[in-house]
Amino acid sequence: MLNRLRDILQSRAVLSLSELSALMQVPPSALEPMLALWIRKGRVRASGAACGGGCGGCSSSDCRLYQWQDEAARAVFVLKQA
| Cβ atoms within 10 Å of 20's Cβ, excluding its own | 21
Helix axes 28-40, 2-11, angle to 10 degrees: 80
| Sequence spans of domains, the chain | 2-81
At 48 the pLDDT is 78
> The domain 2-81: what is its CATH number?
1.10.10.10
User: Structure pTM?
Assistant: 0.72
- Confidence (pLDDT) at 75: 47
Amino acid 82: pLDDT:
54
Convert the pLDDT of each residue in 14-67 to its tens digit. 999 999 999 999 999 999 999 999 999 999 999 876 555 555 556 555 678 999
Question: Is a pLDDT exceeding 80 seen at residue 72?
Answer: no
Cα atoms in the Cβ-side hemisphere of radius 13 Å centred on 35 = 24
